Structures are given as C-alpha cells and as structure tokens.
Structure 1
C-alpha cells in the first residue's frame, strides 16, 4: 500500500468516532438540485416553462440536453399499468419535443425510478424510438445513456440488444456475490469490454436486511477481483429489489434478518471505503468509488463533475428535461416539476397540456448559493475568485456567517478553510451535503424530508 493511500485510510478511520458522526450526520438535502423541492411553489406554470424553453433555443450557442425518464415501480400492481403509463410518457415526449429546436442533441439519458430496470426490451425500444422521433439523440461514444437493472436481467445477449437501442452505461444492483452472480458479472464485463463500453457500475446497498460486516467483507473481496470501474455504496436497498435473484438458500432480502442500525451502516460504509481505497479506488463523494483512471476523477479535479438527481455526471452545462410522473426539468434558471400523482399526471396530458404543476425560478442569491453548493458537491473545492468573478461579490463578506459555521466543521477535520478557497477533506466527502447545507440560506431543520448519509 502506498503512503498516500495509507494516509487516506488513516484519515478516513478518524471519522469512525460515533460522537463526531452523530454531531454532523444530520438530515440534509442531497443537492441533486438546488433549491430543494420543498421550496417549489405552485405559481410557475407550463406557460412559464414554454417561455423558458423558447428562450433557451434563442441562446447564441444553445445548451445540449439531458433527459431524465421516470418510471415508478407501482405500475406493476395495475392491470396494463405499465402499458398505460408508457403511452402517456410517449405523449409527453411529443409535447416536449415540439418546444426544443431539433439541432439540440440529448447527450445524457437516464432512466430513473424503481420500475425502469424492469421494463421489457420491446417497451424500451418503443421509448427510445419515440425519443429519436422528437429529439436528436447523440450517437458518439461520449454520450451517457444509462439504465439501472438487476443482475439476473442483464446477460451478454441482452446487453447487446440494449446497446443496439443506444444504451452505453449500466448500473447493476448487487445483493450478494455467490458463484452464479460472479460468473454472470464476469460475462457482462467481458461483453462490455468487447463492445468498447464502460464496464457497469456496481451498486451495493448497505442497509440490506441481513447485511453483516463479515458477509460484506466477503462480498467486497469477490467484487474487488473483478476490478469494476465504479462502485457505489448506497444507504438504501437497491432499486430493483423485487427483481433480485434469490440467494443460495432461496431467500429474498426480506427473509434475511434485521436491517443494520445506523451505527452498523456507518461501519459498513467506512469498511467499504477503506477496502476499496486500499485497492486503488478514489472516493469521489457520497459513497461513490471509482478507479483512479476513471474520467470522473479527472473531471472532479478540474471542477467539471456535478451532482445531479441521479448521482454525478459530466454534463453539467445542459438543460434537463424530465419526463414522467413527478419528474423535474431544469431550463435556464428555472426548475419545473410534473404532477406527483398519477391521476394528476394523466389528467394534465389528457387535456393536451404539459404535465408541469409547479416550479421555481432562481434569483441572484440563489444563483450564487447554487454555484457554491454545486462545487462542494462536485469537485469539493470552492475557489473564492471563481465565485467572485462570476457573481461580482466579495466571498468572505457575502458568506461571513457561513464561514463562521464552517469553522467548527474545520476543527473536526471535515473541511479546510484556506485563504483563497474551501476544500473538503477525505472524511468531509462522506458528508458533502451536510457541509453544502451551510450555504443553503432557506434550510430549515424542522422539515425532515432530507437524506442522511447513514
């Protein structure tokens, strides 16, 4: 183990202090967007969104597009629920497509929601056909078209079929790493490399029922041998739980025992980070680890990586279109959310309207705070001069109260407050949202709808 890696592991181990964790790991937004959803009023309408879309088309160099397509899990409980939902989704795609110039290409496509990975190939093909009909989809290899699924729904043949549809990134929820699962992952990785794709990201749920330190250690050892490029340690149970393969004893997650407590989940998180860092992985924040050769590492060091609703990406300078129930769009300085319940979503589309029910337009103060928060959540580095030049402020004066609050966190080793910048330490990357929350002027701890890392 190199001295740099050893020093990093030692620094991470410092953060195991339960008193220190209890002090700082409090509910906070995950800052996939800023401001958080609780600040969205109902006054912004679909007409405001149309104006924003038209204005973005008129930019001298219009931004590329990102598309988030949300497919909820509960559709499977209704007769023809998925088919009905997809028909409305296609209608919404057509309505949205009429608002944006055809030369604005979708560079990033993310299928979100617990039901996305359970769609059949014919359903996915229909969805992609509709997107191509109304939008330009980027064809070059640097596009990011991703799908999250369970390991038993992804084989080399299905991988080839999904690649033909345009997908080139895959996230796989991993529950265990028995012989059959490892064999399947080896096949998928080999097929990915043969197709010149990025190997799939493996997502490990920490709070899975029956998860123990010994079992988790064994799982990590098996996965480390595969050298996946990206591994995410998630506090939540995976997104395709109903589709996960049964264990060797025929058990599903709910049969395996109690869910780890908060302190146990922390121990699993640090155990995973320490083990993977020792193998040459870099912790980029919020439990995501990547090999040092990954493009995300270089992007983070250069300040290009940004936090989004679905994790981290390199397409920060884009307008985001959200499709589906509850989906969020971000165009220019406005955020817009679709109806959050299926009846409302369907009713708006039946009326020939966009599904948007509420939104929020950023003011000057929001833009300053968003810039700081995005840098903390992305690169973990906030140079004062960059913020000052962009927003015409004096950083230390504008954020004097926030810098005082950060002093205590700096004393606990989570952040370095330097003469010219703020920089997260490796332990601070465990809780970047908690530090970013200091700069969220509208945050209220009385509203508990936020994320704790553990």
Structure 2
C-alpha cells in the first residue's frame, strides 16, 4: 500500500478545489433566481407523476450573534422558516434523510432539539422506518447512555462522533455508543478524526489508531480540520483538549498522517471509499459505490441521490429539480427576509444542458470513482471522447502520476486518486478558476 500512497506525489496534486458536495460551486450562484423561482420549482416537483422523496439539511452555525439568547432566537427563526417551507411541499412527500449541520448543531440542548424535531414533524412527513437516515454530529462526552436514548426517541439514528481524545474514558464511551447503536439497530456511527489538531504526532496518532482498530467501528473519516466546535470539549470537564500541548502539524506532516491512517486501516480490512472516508468491506456504502449508487452531498457520501433537498438556516442550500437556491448568508439578512414573511432565499442557479452533463460526470467521479462513457452518452446523447476532448487531454499528467486510469471505455480513479477525487473532478468543471482563494485542499 505504501508504494501507492506517496505523500510527495499527493502533495503535488493537492491544490485548492471545490469539494463538489454540489455542482456548480457556490461562487457561480448569481442573484437572479429568487424565492418566487423556488416556489415554482417546488410546485413543479409536487406535480411529478412520482414525486421525489425529500432530504433536509438544518444548518446551525457556531456563532449566533452577540445576544445572550442568540441560540433561542435563531431556533425561533428556523421554526418560522420550516413552516414557510412546509407549505410548499405536498404532505405525502416524506423526509427520508435529515442532517443537522454546522458547528453549533451538536451543542444544542435536548429541549431545543426536541422543539426542532416537533416543528419538522408538524410541517413535513418524517420517515419512521429503520432505513431513514437522521444524523447529528457530536462529541463522545456529550453522548451519555441516557442522552443517546433520548436522541433515539427524537428520531435520530446516525451519529458522527468527533474523536480528539484517545484516553481510556473516551474509548470506554465509544464502546458504550457502539453497543447501544447495535442494540437499537441504528446506522453505524462514523468516527471523525481531525488530523491538524495541535499536539497531533505520528506516535500519538498511531496509538489512537490501535485503540480504534480494537473497537473495529464500521466507519472512520480522516479529515484535515476539526469538524466540530470546541464548545463540545470544555476544559476541566473530564474531556481533554489536545491543543494544550504542542503545535499544529504542518501540511507535509498532516499529509503523512493521512497516509499513515489510510495504510493502517486498509491493512485491517477497511475500504477507502474516497476523501479520507474508510468503511468496513461489509458496509452498504461499499456495495453502493461499486454499483454507482453512492453520491457526494454537502456533508458526506450518501445513498439518497434521487431526492429534492431542502436547506434550513442561514446560508443553507436547497436543491429542487435542476435549481440550487441559497439562503441569506449573514444573520441580519436571514432574519430580515423571514421577518418580511418571505423565504430566506437570496440567490440561486438553474442548470443548463452542459451543466447537467458535467454534473453527471463529477458526481460519478466523487461517488463511485468510475465514469463509463456509454452511461453518459446514452443519458445525454453525446460522444464522450469528442465532448470532453480537452478534459481528457488535461487529465494526462494525473494519469501519468497514477491518480486516474484513462481507458478506452471509461475513466477510473486509482487508490491514490480516491484521496483527491475533487481535484480530478475539477478538470470537468467548465467554469472553474484556480485563482479562487476560497476553495480548500484535502490537506
């Protein structure tokens, strides 16, 4: 495995790129699409012979203004937005996937979460069967056995656990969470390991990996930065804050940690599905990826690609039919639009024919990592090699470095290429400019 995951080679190609949770990227969203366009799109989707199911992303940022009751105020506006959105969609269109996003989501109290779920149930149909996917990101110190039971009662059945502490108490809590999840028939929890934590060293990271290998969790994500607010790890509460010792790893050190983690976990039978996500070979995500069903979304990989997505909260993004719509990105703007009795949408983008072709290719690269030419040609009535002749030429350098295999009938990512699928997908983004400073690198 080591000979394939070369940190120097990966570092060469790890340049800023969108994460392609959506396509096109946000920088292409003009202000010309309005809330009225969104209403028309929602009405049109209701009229489909077989309306799509719904997914919902509820965004709760870490900073909610300077008021003491900032969280309470924000939640009241969220509930108002839920009511406005609920009036647009037929009641028989069920929410199958619910994701609470943002660094503030995991810090909401149980009463606040209960109020939020009650409001969603009041205005939307929430799927009740076990195959629903209602997820919350939090830390193990905030997930006691009693709280886990309370969250399950609210409807949550998937948890993303932010792991920063390798101490005995934290590992014991993870054992309890895993056992409770299996007993309650929940989706397997995802353990999230940030690499650029202060004090993170190869030796310490190796020790953490060994502890996790013994637990054998179904899913592990290795990410560059912390995905959760530090409010979840208060000092003096029994949970350590690793940032108290040592400096933050440099980029080359972080990349070496990423390679170290992938190699160790793959040696233990895990499958690297892309962008630092590793799952056991028995996981449904592996089979879905091989069949081309897995898709990259705003937060993760998922199996709910054929659904309309409703975004709630400041800066949230909705995707209905061929349109993407974003809420106001600043709290004052978000509040003002809702105070006026309007949806919070401030801008949007409707895909054209070329966008749809490129989105299909990019979704396949980000999901299964395999792009059969015939599948694209039949769906969009093009000749792949002619339509994407410049892109295939631009891929040659990465193909020469072993990141992608360009075959006669398809494009397929190699094991190292799965670390940087967005970098390869960027080649097919017709409007991308590498001068954009807001894009992120894998490391």
Deviation of the 1:77 alpha carbon? 4.8
Structure 2 residue corresponding to 1:328, chosen from 317, 331, 351: 317
Residue by residue, what CA displacement relative to the aligned partner does 1:106-136 show, whole Å, maximum 9, x if unpaired?
Answer: 0000000000000001000000000000000
TM superposition score normalised by structure 2: 0.98
Q: Does 1:83 align with 2:48?
A: no
SS at match of 2:375: helix
Residue by residue, what CA displacement relative to the aligned partner does 1:219-250 show, whole Å, maximum 9, x if unpaired?
Answer: 00001111110000010123132212659998
Tell me if structure 1 keeps the 8 A contact 2:10–2:416: no
Determine the C-alpha separation between the residues in 1 that align with 2:388 and 2:95: 36
Please name the residue that 1:386 is paired with: 375
Deviation of the 1:85 alpha carbon? 0.3
Determine the C-alpha separation between the residues in 2 that align with 1:336 and 1:412: 38
Which deviates more from structure 2 when the two are superposed, residues 78-87 or residues 196-205?
A: 196-205
SS at match of 1:170: strand
Deviation of the 1:16 alpha carbon? 4.9
Determine the C-alpha separation between the residues in 1 that align with 2:38 and 2:109: 32
Taking a change above 3 Å as real, the CA distance of residues 214 and 84 of structure 1, as seen in their structure-2 partners, is: same
Tell me if structure 2 keeps the 8 A contact 1:28–1:433: yes
Determine the C-alpha separation between the residues in 2 that align with 1:117 and 1:251: 18
Q: Where does structure 1 lack aligned partners over 5 or more consecutive residues?
A: 1-11
Deviation of the 1:349 alpha carbon? 0.1
Determine the C-alpha separation between the residues in 2 that align with 1:146 and 1:111: 7
Determine the C-alpha separation between the residues in 2 that align with 1:275 and 1:330: 38
Determine the C-alpha separation between the residues in 1 that align with 2:240 and 2:170: 15
Deviation of the 1:17 alpha carbon? 4.0
Taking a change above 3 Å as real, the CA distance of residues 385 and 133 of structure 1, as seen in their structure-2 partners, is: same
Which deviates more from structure 2 when the two are superposed, residues 382-391 or residues 251-260?
A: 251-260
Deviation of the 1:198 alpha carbon? 2.4
Taking a change above 3 Å as real, the CA distance of residues 247 and 409 of structure 1, as seen in their structure-2 partners, is: farther
SS at match of 1:59: coil
Structure 2 residue corresponding to 1:451, chosen from 435, 440, 443: 440
Taking a change above 3 Å as real, the CA distance of residues 197 and 439 of structure 1, as seen in their structure-2 partners, is: same
Determine the C-alpha separation between the residues in 1 that align with 2:238 and 2:146: 28
Tell me if structure 1 keeps the 8 A contact 2:7–2:256: no
- Aligned residues between the structures: 443
Q: Does 1:57 align with 2:46?
A: yes
Tell me if structure 2 keeps the 8 A contact 1:326–1:337: yes
Tell me if structure 2 keeps the 8 A contact 1:176–1:247: no
TM superposition score normalised by structure 1: 0.95
Q: CA RMSD in A?
A: 1.4
Tell me if structure 2 keeps the 8 A contact 1:90–1:127: yes
Tell me if structure 1 keeps the 8 A contact 2:82–2:312: yes
Please name the residue that 1:396 is paired with: 385
Determine the C-alpha separation between the residues in 2 that align with 1:296 and 1:408: 30
